[in-house]
Amino acid sequence: MALNKYSRIYTQDDSLPASQAMLIGSGLSDADLHKPFVGICSTGFEGNTCNMHLNGLADQVKVGVQEQGLVGLRFNTIGVSDGITNGTAGMRYSLVSREIIADSIEAMAGAHNYDALACVMGCDKNMPGALIAMARLNRPSLMVYGGTIKGGTFKGQQLNIVSCFEAYGKKLQGQISDEDYKGIIHNACPGPGACGGMYTANTMAAAIETLGMSVPFSSSSPAVSQEKQQECLTAGAYLRRLLELDLKPRDILVREAFENALVMTTVLGGSTNAVLHLIAIAHAAGVHLTMEDFQAVSNRTPVLADLKPSGKYLMEDLSALGGVPAVMKTLLNLGLLHGDLLTVTGQTLAENLADVQPLGAEQDLLRPLDNPIKADGHIQILYGNLASKGAVAKITGKEGLRFEGPAIVFNSEEELNEGITQGKIQPGQVVVIRYVGPKGGPGMPEMLKPTSAIIGAGLGDKVALITDGRFSGGTHGFVIGHVCPEAYDGGTIALVEDGDWIVLDAGTNTIDVQVDDALLELRRQQWQRPRPNVQQGVLLKYIRTVSDASRGCITDYQEDHVLEPTTPARANLA
């Protein structure tokens, strides 16, 4: 089988001399035109710790690709920093960037007929964007994670990016000096790498490694490490093997693989953003994944890892203990993972883990099954008159299972931030942040700045927050997001008024406002959809094309069309 079955369309057709002339003009030789072309995509850019080193890693990937007799062709796509944009209008572009990344990789690799694809990704939306593109293209592909950042320190205190957001709340309350506030800012991010806790980037990296779309240890090798450099250099050998086997993403991204990823996300106490992203990746792969699947996994899977934001440790601490493969081996031994699924190594998950040691009793980062942090999953799907199509709660066990109280309503994140500054938030309240959903935001921005400010002000365990927006992977507390239908679509969250009594119960998985149905209907008749917050450009296009959160906020949803999986769940490539 020819390994250049896509690129040969351009390189071997005598009727396309201009195509070949441009390739030769770009520095390729006649011999190169007979080799497979590997697109090497990076989301590297300056000005963000998550992405600042990725172009260098992509260069290393190219070295390894060339050593395997393949032609590596580097290109870039965009990235949006959640850490930089959180709490500003720029955050509206964050989730939108996932679609831009997916679309641009698909367009680039599809247009230029690359035979294989390597994506070097860093920040939160980079990785699901790349996986969506890989699944659409369905050509031999793998992802290289840029790696986690080292933890910072200041005056003996361990720091990470969320420390900065929470320091702002402490500053507002006069709990820290301006000097210490600046000291935290200057020391929280000591170099390259994605945010260090089990926030969205590390959650998705671990999920993708568990899916089988990155090589073992990719998700837990620190950004600045010899292991990360070696991973990049060996990517070429794995890509050549994938080409020889003709092993494609949809051979790997089968339903059981997503079940594995959901289990890993739950065990690690991962970000609720995984709900959106894994549903979207599954859609691209032709796998029907729903919020109910997350609930089913949560019902039978405990939270075992003591990782930030709710716990003690960072990803670099897990790396020192054996990384995500050690967790996988532990879970495989417990019968919690499907081991016979193919991965980008060309081997099964179980074969990849054959020589990996499980985590032992000498460490306390991963609890034993009989002493979990939480006996069931932290991701809970709630339904009720406030969320007839579902909402996503992150309940780690520290917040309790039930919260009820009077609503205090804010129609934007800016309103809420102002309310926090003015001291409007009181213990016992349910803070409602609406019109920040996929269409209302637009872009479903994360509410990390206000939640961190509330925690910093000492109210984290005294109020609950619900929103049709998202919560960052760095958020903790009694928080419920992804409320669907969103306010912009006339969901009940749009009808809530200050003082309405709201009951949130993660034990019964319900979310209700205790207002008479007749009064709610009267409010519904009086409700008017606000004008879109934007009048042109990519955000307006997003409003017009994005699905609701229950479907992963995808932009290519078709009501009556389901993409059929192209391969069986398990394949024998021996």
Residue 471 included in any domain: yes
Residue 386 included in any domain: yes
Residue 94 included in any domain: yes
Residue scoring higher pLDDT (453 or 386)? 386
Residue 362 included in any domain: no
Known binder of ligand: residue 82?
Answer: yes
Same domain, 141 and 161: no
What is the pLDDT at residue 396?
A: 82
Per residue in 81-92, pLDDT (tens digit) is: 999 998 899 999
Task: Indicate whether 31 pLDDT > 60.
Answer: yes
Same domain, 169 and 317: no
Give the phi and the psi of residue 380 in degrees, each rounded to 5: -120, 135
Per residue in 334-386, pLDDT (tens digit) is: 999 999 999 999 999 999 999 999 999 999 999 999 999 999 999 999 999 99
What is the pLDDT at residue 111?
A: 98
* pLDDT > 70 fraction of the chain, expressed in percent and rounded: 97
Give the phi and the psi of residue 75 in degrees, each rounded to 5: -150, 165
Same domain, 437 and 471: yes
Same domain, 421 and 299: no
Same domain, 386 and 332: no
Average pLDDT, the chain: 95
Sorted by sequence, the CB contacts under 8 Å of residue 390 that are 6+ apart come out as 291, 381, 382, 383, 482, 484, 549, 550
Same domain, 178 and 309: no
Please say whether the beta carbons of 220 and 323 come within 8 A. Answer: yes
Could you give the count of Cα atoms lying within 13 Å of 271 in the half-sphere of its Cβ? Answer: 28
* Closest by Cα among 144, 205, 192 to 327: 205
What is the pLDDT at residue 569?
A: 38
What is the pLDDT at residue 563?
A: 62
Residue 181 included in any domain: yes
What Rg do the C-alpha atoms of the chain give, in angstroms? Answer: 23
pLDDT-derived band at 560, boundaries 50, 70, 90: low
CATH number, domain containing residue 269: 3.40.50.2300
Known binder of ligand: residue 548?
Answer: no
Task: Indicate whether 526 pLDDT > 90.
Answer: yes
Residue 4 included in any domain: no
Same domain, 531 and 421: yes
Same domain, 113 and 180: no
CATH number, domain containing residue 546: 3.50.30.80
Residue 9 included in any domain: no
Residue 31 included in any domain: no
What is the pLDDT at residue 564?
A: 60
Helices (H) and strands (E) in the chain, counts: 21, 14
Based on the structure, what is the number of domains in the chain?
3
- Residues recognised as catalytic: 472
Residue scoring higher pLDDT (168 or 258)? 258
Per residue in 37-46, pLDDT (tens digit) is: 999 999 999 9
Same domain, 102 and 171: no
What is the pLDDT at residue 285?
A: 98
For residue 446, the cross-strand partners are: 470
pTM for the model = 0.96
Q: Distance between CA 536 and CA 281 in Å, rounded?
A: 28
Q: Which domain holds residue 294?
A: 36-147+196-352
Same domain, 222 and 341: yes
Task: Indicate whether 574 pLDDT > 60.
Answer: no
pLDDT-derived band at 53, boundaries 50, 70, 90: very high
Handedness of CA 128, 131, 135, 136 (dihedral sign): positive
Task: Indicate whether 173 pLDDT > 90.
Answer: no
Known binder of ligand: residue 439?
Answer: no
Same domain, 275 and 416: no
How confident is the model over 378-407, as a mean pLDDT?
A: 94
Same domain, 178 and 273: no
pLDDT-derived band at 567, boundaries 50, 70, 90: very low
Known binder of ligand: residue 446?
Answer: yes
